[in-house]
Structure 1
Amino acid sequence: MNLRRQLVLLSLCTLALPWAGCQYLRQVDQALTQGQMQTLEATGNAIAARLASAPELIAPDPRRNGRPPGAQLYLNPLAQTPVLDGYGEEWRALRLRPRQLLDQAGDPFAQITLGRRGSQIYMLLTARDRSPSYHDPRSSGISSGDTVEIYTARQQYTLPVASQGPVHAMWYNPRRGRYERELRIRGRWTASPRGYQLELTLPAALSDGELAVRVLDRTHSDGGTPARVAGTLPNDGRPGVLVEPLPQLQRELEHFARPELQLTVVDQEGFVLARTGIDWHATGDDQPPAGEAQPWLRDWLYRQILATAALSPLPRDRFPDNLTQNRETASQWFGAPDSDPDSTPGDERIGAVSVPVVTRADDIIERPLLGRVITAQSASALRSLTESAARRLWLTTAAAAGLVLLLLLGYASWLSWRIRQLHRAASNAVDASGRLRGDFPRPLINDELGALNRAFASLLAELDHYHQYLRSLASKLSHELRTPLAVVRSSLDNLAAGDLDSDSRRYAERAADGGARLSSILNALSAANHLEASIRQADREDFDLADLVQALNQSYADAHPEHHFELQCPDTPQPCNGAPELLAQLLDKLVDNAVSFAPEGSTIHMALTPERREYVLSVSNSGPLLPSGFGQKLFDSLVSVRDDGGKAGHLGLGLHIARLIADFHHGELSAANREDGSGVVFTLALPR
């Protein structure tokens, strides 16, 4: 893994900043919501204390004292008069919560919804009965099948179930000793897929503030014992009290009203007695314009940041039991009301705190629970504050993380560029001829990488000095050894001119031959140094490379008749820029090497191949193969692979001079064995 990727991975640690910011936002949100709940609780305690001091406001009807739970029925205020057609469409539009009626086994059998409009009480009853039994006219009783019974404070009314048609409410007149029809109770029956439905109305004065409903289900229309019974009539036979909103309590509650706050007072069973403040169930003004996109993604993101789960919707008329069925202060968070079609649970949080209203009495008698005060407030203000903080946090952390990432990426790129520069300089410190280049860069930055760069530069400078010393060593030795070598040779000549025995003369001649060889070596070294200097000072010109190769091939054929020469060369001119005399000398060295190794009578192949960007000139001969690892060492100074022991005076300078000429022309000289293993091929690549 390169340095840039390592620093990029390291920069990912900056993602801890948004995570820490989210944790901080969660703590802030918890503190704000806890403070909101405490404020709602304080408001609820103040209202509960006021109602406890005036219990007639919340419990004006003493008939409720001691009545069993579940006996009371709630009258919902109706904004419009329902149409008594038996279908109940107006009731469904109001989205009121019905009262469930359970049979003896505890299974749901029917449900009832009551409402009041002016002086009339309206009721919608729906029963689940797959096989209803209707009244048999031949029966002597007033209702031989399924029956609905309505109990008021003074009278009981029997309503025989019918599949369709008006309601016939029958009551027993003791003065006349017979059942008569109550015309003030009006309504209509309709059949439903699950059973039957009843919609009726009666005067509120007829109930006298008390009402109970009982539903009888018979298997057959024989007037026998009902198979199932469900209703609200207690065991003592006395109907429960009708509960409805209290106007005086409503006026008292409005004194505590505040913006964005909903105040609700419920009785012991959770029925709403008074309510004031904002209504989240209202539609119209609070809804967003049609076609406006909802920020669901932003809401979901904030819920994930604040770790808030989906909440149950705020109920309209009845709160959960944990807020109404105990004597302790309770609190709960709700979501947007289920009547809002454009909202999803959790889009808006609504906090509700329930405070009990207990009468003031002594410590011996248990103080009765009159009801509860429920204060509710939306967390939209807190949410706006949290969203604003979250937005600033995300912008700040994103900007900080992005800036850090860019800085680290830029620094990694700059550092990687410096390392690549150092690697490139170290790779190019030595040229193809093995010479050290003296242009190694020296940085100005005093860091560890700069120190390493300067150490490389110092090391290469020392090596260059040593290389210069080695390159001048041959000329120095040649100059310094010539005088003592001349003395030795003159002494050997004088000694050979005298009278010597056979052994002494043989030793003298051997010493003379060694001196001659040493003299030739010194002359070759001196000639090589002078040739290298002349190569660097040669002039370049434009010439025809094909014509030069053809002329040299003919010369080689004349000079070496014991070998055959073959040339492959284009007939068209091949323009080239360089020193033709040096290239001719390079080919002389290659051909001389080929002639010296090729068997007598063999063929030496020469070829000139023009390619797109270069000329390829090759000299190939049969003979012994190159030893392993000598592909490039052949072109070094004083390197030879001949097996004559050096008697012929070959010092390995010919191919070295050929490489110097190739470097002068910015070409590349290489040697390799033939693919068929029959000999060696030398290749020169010259740029066009």
Structure 2
Amino acid sequence: MTLRRKLLLVALCTLALPVAGWLYVRQMETLLREGQAQALTASARAMARSLVVTDAPLPPAGPVWYVQQTANPITIDGYGDDWAPLTPWSQPLDKRGKLLLAEDADWLYLFAEVRSAQRTRADADDPRALAADHLVLSLGRGELSRRYLLASAAPGLVTARPLDPPVDGLPNLITAQWQEDGGGYRVELRLPRSLKLDALGLAIYDPTNGGDPQSVQARPLVAYSPALSKELSQLALDGVQARVLAPQGWLLAQTGHLAAPATAPGDQPGWFAALVYRFLLADQVGEAELWMQDVPKLDAAEVNQASRGKPATLWRQGEARGSVVLAAAVPIESDDQVRGVLLLEQASRAVPLLANRALLGLLLTSFGVLLVAGAILLVFATRLSIRLGRLRDAAERAQLNDGRLDEPFPMTGAEDEIGDLARSFERLFEVVGGYTDYLRTLASKLSHELNTPLAIVKSSLDNLEHALQAQQAMPPDAQPYMLRARDGVARLGQLVRAMSEASRMERAIAAAEPEDVDLVAVVRGCGEAYRPLAGTRRLETELPDGPMMMHCAPELIAQALDKLFDNALSFTPEQGWLRLSLRATQHGAEIELANQGPPLPAAMQGRLFDSLVSLRDKATPGDAPHLGLGLYVVRLVAERHGGVALARNLEDGSGVAFTLQLHGMPRQRL
């Protein structure tokens, strides 16, 4: 991974700043909501106590029957068509039925539906009616109550038979409609509102289950109370919607309406801000659908919790975009009994606006800091990469030049760690360059220094041999040793002359004059000259079709090719092959001579082009030694033309290839 990418990853660590800020804004938003919830709960508690103190018409504790309001009169026919709008809020009747109660200005309507697959039928005036399927209806007003038996042997109009003695104010005759189907039966009736009933009981008797056929338990009747609504309106706060609910969730009174506080045009949150608040900042914001419906019963967990004596709060979505609604439900308690639930709802845009503004400011600041930090780190990484690249290029140039610096090492004057590294590299390459120069001149120095000792040894051997021969005193066994000594002196002389020749060759290569020539013609001529020398070996040439001009020294290139061919010929087996090729490159030309033979040792591939290095077998006594100067000359020629000499094993392992990469010689300015 590059430095720029690493520093970019480091810059991304600054993302922890907006994350921490986001968590802080969430915490702030939670604290604001908790404070507002506590304030609204305190107001709801105060209103609940006021309702109890002022003797507001609250529902009694315990189970009740809720009477819904109907806008149109209901036809008494035993069918539930007219009850369809009220059916979703039916009340359970025992375990096998449901009950619907409704009222208008004149009548109290009752509709009971009982599920029963098997029935025993009898009319209400039949002595066996109490043993058949029937309903027991109880009407109550104040302390007075009276029971009635509802039973029928067939669908149609039925008359309820009183089970109790007459009671003043309660009817003696009640008519109803009885209808049946395969799943059970339905009973529908109506009673005058003038009876002023405040309690009602209805029980289902099934002969198969047994029990008391006349037992019925009455419950108080509750309905929406305008009087309680008026009392509630005097206590409600502005901009707050207040509702009084029975412990079961039935609506008893309502006043006020939700009104979000007016805001400036610029404070109106957009859809994106609303989404940001809902999904990033707000926690547990409920849906608004349940609370917005105009229904007679509110079945919510917060209402159920308040009916058990524990206050509860809820945040939900508001009707207006970008607003939220806080709902607080508290129990209305009297004599340690929960008489109802007071529900206050208040719309607010303050919390979302404050949270959105805080988050927006934080994000803008954080991303600004992130961008600045990222840009600074990117610039720093880019500059650092460029400086390191300059060091790398300088080191590679020095490596190609055997450690010699052709120009001052870059950034040695910098005061930072890279400057220290550059100065260390410069000192290292100065030492390597000096050692390389010493090795380059070692041959000429040795040849000069060894000439005199060799001459002394040779003359001494000659004098010794003449002296012994003159006295005829040379032992026969000494003759082989004398010959070996002369052979060794001759070989040392050849070595000294070869080293002198290498020095002269370096000077000759450096002094060569360039000219514009066609490399194709040069390489073709060398290839044609090598064919007779190849003998039984096969020589192939691969040359471009057109000319390839280069400003170079053709005699040096031919000399380098001679050395390469001589080297390749010595390693190519009989009946083997050689391939000489020339191709153009982006910066010049490339000449390659490949031959079949053994691969190059891995340890020697980097030293093949050094002076006095050879892979050929050692010469036998009497043979001229091989000094390993041929490939050294090849490297000097390549460097004189601005290129390099390379050696590699062929991919298929069949042999080796030596390559001359030539860039041309610089033109001399007149």
User: TM tier, shorter chain?
Assistant: 0.7 to 0.9
Unaligned runs of 5+ in 1: 103-107, 234-239, 281-291, 359-366
Aligned partner of 2:226 in structure 1 is 247
The residue aligned with 1:32 is: 32
Cα deviation for residue 171 of structure 1 reads 4.9
What letter corresponds to residue 43 of structure 1 in structure 2?
S
Q: Name 1:54's counterpart in structure 2.
A: 54
Q: Cα deviations across residues 335-362 of structure 1 (Å, max 9, x unaligned)? A: 579xx9x99xxx966432315354xxxx
Residue 543 of structure 1 corresponds to: 518
- Quick one: distance in 2 between partners of 1:551 and 1:573? 17
Q: How does 1:295-334 map to 2 (within 5 A)?
A: 301-302=279-280, 306=283, 313-314=290-291, 316-317=296-297, 320-326=303-309, 330-333=311-314
Amino acid in structure 2 at the alignment position of 1:301: F
Q: Is the 8 A contact 1:8 1:408 kept in 2?
A: yes
- For residues 232-278 of structure 1, the C-alpha deviation after alignment (integer angstroms, 9 at most, x for no partner) is 42xxxxxx543334433322321233344222345687764422123
Distance 1:681 1:370 in 2: 102
Instruction: Check 1:670–1:272 CA distance in 2 against 1; reply closer, same or farther (3 A cut).
Output: closer
* Residue in 1 that maps onto 2:440: 471
When residues 497 and 330 of structure 1 are mapped into structure 2, their CA distance, relative to the original with a 3 A threshold, is closer
Change (3 A) 1:209 1:464: same
What SS does the aligned partner of 2:112 have?
Answer: strand
- 2:398 aligned to which of 419, 424, 429: 429
The amino acid of 2:234's aligned partner reads: H
Using the alignment, how far apart are the partners of 2:152 and 2:24 within structure 1? Answer: 64
1 CA distance for matches of 2:286 and 2:376? 38
Q: Is this contact kept in 2: 1:272–1:317, CA < 8 A?
A: yes
On the 8 A contact 1:635/1:659 being kept in 2, the answer is yes
Amino acid corresponding to residue 500 of structure 1 in structure 2: A
2: CA distance, partners of 1:657 / 1:351: 96
- Percent identity for Structure 1 against Structure 2: 27
Instruction: Mark the CA change 1:111 to 1:79 in structure 2 (over 3 Å): closer, same or farther.
Output: same
Distance 2:49 2:652 in 1: 110
3-state secondary structure, aligned to 2:190: strand
CA deviations 1:137-161 (Å, max 9, x no partner) are: 9945778542352424365444335
1:618 aligns with 2:593: yes
Q: Which residue of 1 aligns with 2:205?
A: 217
Counterparts of 1:225 and 1:572, CA distance in 2: 116
Contact 2:177 2:189 in 1 (8 A): yes
Residues in 1 aligned to 2:545 and 2:248: alpha-carbon distance in whole angstroms = 114
TM-score by length of 2: 0.72
- On the 8 A contact 1:616/1:686 being kept in 2, the answer is yes
**Cross-structure match for 2:193:** 204
User: What do the CA deviations read for 1:424-470 (whole angstroms, capped 9, x no partner)?
Assistant: 54445311x74534354327754334432332233223322332343
The TM-score normalised by the length of structure 1 is 0.71
Which one of the candidate residues 56, 62, 75 is aligned to 1:69?
Answer: 62
Report the secondary structure of 1:430's partner residue. helix
Given the alignment of the two structures, is residue 582 of structure 1 paired with residue 556 of structure 2, yes or no? yes
The structural deviation recorded for 1:632 is 5.0
Residues 148-190 of structure 1, C-alpha deviation per residue, up to 9 Å, x if partnerless? Answer: 5242436544433587545644558989xxx9984xx676444
Secondary structure in 1 matching 2:118: coil
> Is 1:453 aligned with 2:422?
yes
Per-residue CA distance 1:5-50 (angstroms, 9 max, x = gap) = 6556655644544543344344323322332232223323432443
Cα distance, 1:605–1:357 mapped onto 2, change above 3 Å: closer
Q: Counterpart of 1:670 in structure 2: which amino acid?
A: A
Mapped partners of 2:198, 2:651: distance in 1? 121
- Tell me if structure 2 keeps the 8 A contact 1:589–1:654: yes
Q: Tell me which residue corresponds to 2:109.
A: 122
1:67-111: per-residue Cα shift (whole Å, max 9, x none)?
A: x833x4333344444454545456453576443333xxxxx2323
Structure-1 separation of matches of 2:365 and 2:274: 23
Whole-angstrom distance in 2 between the partners of 1:148 and 1:452: 105
Equivalent residue of 1:658, what SS? helix
Residues 99, 111 of structure 1: 8 Å contact kept: yes
Task: Supply the distance in 2 between the matched residues of 1:202 and 1:257 (Cα, whole angstroms).
Answer: 36
Q: Distance in 1 between matches of 2:151 and 2:561?
A: 129
Structure 1 residue 194: Cα displacement = 4.6
Structure 1 Cα separation of the partners of residues 206 and 366 of structure 2: 72
Give the one of 632, 636, 647 matched to 2:610. 636
Which amino acid in 2 is paired with 1:257? A
CA contact (8 A) 2:541 2:580 kept: yes
Alignment check: 8 A CA contact 1:267 1:370 kept? no
How many residue pairs match? The answer is: 621
Aligned to 2:20: 20
Question: In structure 1, how many angstroms separate the alpha carbons of the residues matched to 2:285 and 2:430?
Answer: 69
Larger mean CA deviation between 32-41 and 492-501 belongs to 492-501
C-alpha separation in 2, matches of 1:31 and 1:422? 58
CA contact (8 A) 1:608 1:615 kept: no
Which residue of the other structure, out of 139, 146, 157, is the alignment partner of 1:151?
Answer: 139
Q: Report deviation, 1:629.
A: 4.0
1:318 Cα deviation from its structure 2 partner: 5.6
- Residue ranges of structure 2 left out of the alignment (5+ in a row): 260-269, 664-670
Change (3 A) 1:307 1:594: same
Q: SS state of the match for residue 399, structure 2? A: coil
What residue number does 2:241 align with? Answer: 262
Task: Give the Å deviation of 1:657.
Answer: 0.8
Q: Partner of 1:452: helix, strand, or coil?
A: helix
Between the aligned partners of 2:72 and 2:354, the Cα distance in structure 1 is 41
The 5 A counterparts of 1:366-381 are 367=335, 371-372=339-340, 374-378=342-346, 380-381=348-349
Per-residue deviation, 1:129: 2.4
Per-residue deviation, 1:539: 0.7
Q: Which amino acid aligns with 1:322?
A: Q
Residues in 2 aligned to 1:457 and 1:496: alpha-carbon distance in whole angstroms: 55
State which drifts further: 659-668 or 499-508.
499-508
* Cα deviation digits, residues 380-422 of structure 1 (max 9, x gap): 5334544554555556556655665666566556655655554
For 2:601 and 2:249, the matched residues in 1 are separated by: 106
CA distance in 1, matches of 2:211, 2:540: 122
The answer to whether the Cα contact below 8 Å between 1:311 and 1:333 also exists between their aligned partners in 2 is: no
Q: 1:498 to 1:454 in 2, by over 3 A?
A: closer
1:192 positional shift: 6.4
Using a 3 Å threshold, how does the CA distance of structure 1 residues 684 and 390 change in structure 2: closer, same or farther? Answer: closer
For 1:395 and 1:453, the matched residues in 2 are separated by: 42
1:670 to 1:295, Cα distance in 2 relative to 1, 3 A: closer
**Cα distance between partner residues in 2 of 1:113 and 1:414:** 83
Who is 1:532 aligned against?
506
Q: Corresponding residue for 1:351? A: 327
C-alpha separation in 2, matches of 1:348 and 1:193: 50
Query: How far did residue 215 of structure 1 move?
Result: 2.8
Whether contact under 8 Å (1:262, 1:276) holds in the other structure is yes
Please tell me the residue identity of whatever aligns with 2:151: P
Query: Could you tell me whether the CA contact under 8 Å between 1:69 and 1:269 is conserved in 2?
Result: no
- What SS does structure 2 have at the residue aligned with 1:113? strand
- Structure 1 residues 476 and 323: CA distance shift in structure 2, 3 A: same
1:630 CA drift (Å):
4.0
Q: Which amino acid counterpart does residue 306 of structure 1 have in structure 2?
A: D
The answer to whether the 8 A contact 1:257-1:277 is kept is yes
Alignment equivalent of 1:101, drawn from 83, 93, 106:
93
1:608 maps to which residue?
580
